[in-house]
Structure 1
Amino acid sequence: MINFRITLRQRRITLKVLNCHMRIFMLITCLLGLVPLGVPRAFADQAPGQVSAELRYFGTCDGSAVVQIGEHVLLTANDEDNILRSYHLLGGKPLGQFDISLLAGVDSNEEIDIEGVARQGDLLWWIGSHGLGKKGIEGDDKPARRNIFATNIPGPGLENLKLVEKHTNLTDALRNSEDLKEILTPEVWNLAPKKGGLNIEGVVFAPNGDLLVGLRSPLFAKKGKKGRALIVHLRKAGDGWSVVDVSRLKLDDRGIRDIHTVDGGYLMIAGEVHSGGKSALYFWNGTDKPELRSVDGIQNLNPEAVIQFDGHQIIFSDDGTRDRKPDFFEAEQECGEFYDPEQSHPLVYFRAVVVNP
C-alpha cells in the first residue's frame, strides 16, 4: 500500500526542488529575452495600448501613491501602513524605507491612508483619503486620514527625507465650498468611503499652481443619469486652502483613482466607487471631455496609480485582496494576509504593467 503522507522534511526537499526548477526556468527565459532585463527591454515597442511587461515591487501589497524621484527611482506610499518605500523603476525589493508617521504628526498605529502624491518644484505633497472608516461616522472616525503635508525629494535610500510644510486638512475647505454643498451633503459626510462617502484618491498641481484633488467618491449624479467624477480645484489661503472651482467629468459612472501630469494635460485612472468593477485610463486636457485610452490587460489589475516614463504609461495595482498561493500544498490566501511589517515575504508584492502609448 502506497503511503501518501508527506513528512515535513520531504515537503521541504520538494519545495527546494521546485524552487531550483523555477530558477532554471527564469534563467532560460531571460536568455531567450522573455523576461525584461533592463529598462530598454521592459519598454520594448509594441502596438499602442499593449502591455509590454509586468513588474513586481516587494514589501507591501499595494502602491496607492507613486512618484518618480530619480532617473530610474520611484517613491511609493500605500494605504495600509505609513511607510514610504523607494524602488528601482523596474521593481524588486525596496531601496529604502521610511516611516512617515512622526513627520505627519500621527502615531505609527494610526493609518494616514495615503492615496496620492503630487510634485511641486522641489516638494512632494502627500494626501490622506480624508475618509471615515468602513463603518461610517458611528465610532469609526479616522482623524489621521485628514492629512496633507509636503516633504523634500529624498535620495534613493530616503535617509535625507524631511518634512517641509504641513497644512491643516482640506475638510473645512470642502465643507465651506458653495460649489460642493449639493454634493457633499450632511448624509455624505456620514458615509463610509466605499458607500458614497468622501474619498480622496488623486492629487496633482495645475500649471497655475492650483491643487487639483480627484475624488473617488462621491460622484455628482442627477436622477436617471450616470454619475460624474469630481476634481476639486484648491488654492492656498493663509494656513489653509479654499475651493476655487470644481470640474465634473464624464468617466462612465467612475470616480478618480489617480491623476498624473503629462504633456498637454493629465492621465487619470478611473474606477468604481465600490470595490470591483472595471477600471479605465483617460486623458484630460483640463477643460474638455476626457478621452478614453484603450489598454489591453488593465482588467487583470486593480489600478490605483499611474505615471509616465519615456512615453510609456506604468499602471500600478492594489493587490491587497489578490489571492496568492504559498506553495503546492497550501490553499490560496489574500496578499494582505502574508504582510508582516517586521519581515519580508516572497508573496507580498504589488504589480505594475508597462503600457505602450
Structure 2
Amino acid sequence: MRVQIWSLSGLLVLLGTVSASALTGPLHYKGLCEASAATYIDNDHFVVASDETNILRLYERNDKSEGIPLDFEGPSGFDKSDIEAAARDGETVYWISSHSLNSSGEDKDKRKIFFATKIVSANIATTLQWQGEFLRLRDAILDVIGDRKSELNIEGLATSSDGTLLIGLRDTIDGQALVIPFTNPAEVISHPERRAVLGEPSRLDLGGLGVRSIERVGDHYLIVAGPVSDEGFFALYRWSGGKSSAEELKAPAIGSMRPEALMEIPGSGMVQILSDDGSKTCDDEKTPLSQRAFRSIEIKIGN
C-alpha cells in the first residue's frame, strides 16, 4: 500500500470545558460515503476506511478531491471486513472490524479481523506496510462481557500511554457503554497463536448511548457517543479513563452528522470528526466514485 503525499483544512468548532460552537458548516470529502475509521499518518494526511469495502483512502487535510485508494488485501483474503475503528501507536496503526456475530454462512468470520499496518516514509511517499492480523479477539471479548451473540459490535479503538488499546462497543449493557482494555495488541500481531489479554471493562454513563469512536487527546479521551440502533442522536464526551465518570460536552456542531471516526490532528490542538454518510443514494459498493462524499468537521480543544 503506497501513499503519495500532498495536503486540506476542515471546519472550525471551538470547544471549551463543557461546550462547543460551530463557526462554519461541514467540509465534504469525495471518494467514499461510509467513513467508518480514520487516522492521521503525518501532520497533513489521514487515511480513511469504509465499512463496506477493504479499501483505505488517503486524504490531504482540506483537499476535497477523491484521495488516493490503497487496496487492502490482508492474508485472510476477506472482501468486506466491516472495518470500524483505527488507532495509531507510534508508527503502528491498528485497525479493527466490528466483530459482529450477525453474519452467517461463508460470511460468518469476515467481521472478526484485528490487523496492523506500519507507517514507512521513503523518498516523497509514505507507505503503509502490512504487519499482520489476529482473528481470535471475538472469543476473548465474549469471555469478558458474556456471550451476547446478537449484540457484539465494536466501533471504537484508542491507544493509551502504556501501549494498551481501548476497545469501545456500540452496544450497551444495562444502559451503560463499555470500554475494554486490550493489553497485548503488538504481541498477538507478531504471534497470532497467542491469546489476547483483556482487562476489566470500564462502564460509562453516556446517557444510554454506546461508543461510536474514541481518541486519546493529551491526558484524557474524547468519545463520540451514539445510538445502539441506526436511528437516534449523537453526543460528545470527555473521559479521564479508568473508573472516572464521562463528562458530556455540548457540541451543536455535530448537527445532522452521523459521526463514526474521531481523530486528533497532529500539532494543531484540534480533533476531526468524520460522518458515515452512507444511504440509499450513496453506497461505497454501487455509487459512482465521483458521486460519493462524506462530511468532516474540526474541533478546537479549549483549556
Show the counterpart of 1:220. 173
Alignment partner of 1:244 out of 199, 217, 222: 199
Alignment partner of 1:336 out of 283, 292, 296: 283
Distance 1:256 1:42, change over 3 A: closer
Q: Report if the CA contact (8 A) 2:13-2:22 is conserved.
A: no
Q: Which amino acid aligns with 1:353?
A: I
Q: Report if the CA contact (8 A) 1:46-1:52 is conserved.
A: no
Show the counterpart of 1:164. 131
Deviations 1:186-225 (A, max 9, x none): xx21x2xxxxx100000112212222100002x110xxxx
Q: Report the Cα offset of residue 277 of structure 1.
A: 0.4
Matched, 1:300 2:256: yes
SS at match of 1:334: coil
SS at match of 1:175: helix
Q: Distance in 1 between matches of 2:65 and 2:221?
A: 29
RMSD over aligned Cα atoms = 2.6
Q: Distance in 2 between matches of 1:273 and 1:334?
A: 23
Alignment partner of 1:234 out of 182, 190, 202: 182
Q: Which amino acid aligns with 1:335?
A: C
Show the counterpart of 1:3. none
Show the counterpart of 2:114. 148
Q: How many residues align?
A: 280
Q: Report if the CA contact (8 A) 2:52-2:284 is conserved.
A: no
Alignment partner of 1:314 out of 263, 272, 277: 272
Distance 1:162 1:308, change over 3 A: closer
Q: Distance in 2 between matches of 1:80 and 1:97?
A: 14
Q: Which amino acid aligns with 2:273?
A: I
Moved over 6 A (4+): 44-47, 156-159
Deviations 1:132-191 (A, max 9, x none): 34xx65x485312100111111559977322113223311212333xx23xxx3xx21x2
Deviations 1:305-341 (A, max 9, x none): 11233223321101002xxxxxxxxxxx62228944x
66-75 or 163-172, larger mean C-alpha shift: 163-172
Q: Distance in 1 between matches of 2:155 and 2:237?
A: 15
Structure 2, unmatched stretches of 5+, are 1-7
Deviations 1:232-290 (A, max 9, x none): 11222663312222100000111100111101111111000101101001110103111
Q: Report if the CA contact (8 A) 1:339-1:348 is conserved.
A: no
TM-score, length-normalised on structure 2? 0.84
Q: Distance in 2 between matches of 1:43 and 1:299?
A: 14
Q: Which protein is richer in helix relative to its size? A: 1
What are the equivalent positions in structure 2 for 1:1-357 lying under 5 Å apart?
39=9, 42-43=11-12, 49-53=20-24, 54-101=26-73, 103-107=74-78, 110-133=79-102, 139=105, 141-154=107-120, 160-177=127-144, 180-181=145-146, 185=147, 188-189=148-149, 191=150, 197-217=151-171, 219-221=172-174, 227-236=175-184, 239-287=194-242, 288-309=244-265, 310-321=268-279, 334-336=281-283, 339-340=286-287, 344-345=289-290, 347-357=291-301
Q: Distance in 2 between matches of 1:169 and 1:337?
A: 28
Q: Which amino acid aligns with 1:283?
A: R
SS at match of 2:232: coil
TM-score, length-normalised on structure 1? 0.72
Q: Which has the larger radius of gyration?
A: 1
Q: Report if the CA contact (8 A) 1:67-1:307 is conserved.
A: yes
Q: Which protein is richer in strand relative to its size? A: 2
Q: Report the Cα offset of residue 97 of structure 1.
A: 1.2
Identity %: 31
Q: Report if the CA contact (8 A) 1:66-1:75 is conserved.
A: yes
Structure 1, unmatched stretches of 5+, are 1-37, 192-196, 222-226, 322-332
Q: Report if the CA contact (8 A) 2:156-2:213 is conserved.
A: yes
Q: Report if the CA contact (8 A) 1:234-1:245 is conserved.
A: no
Distance 1:243 1:45, change over 3 A: closer
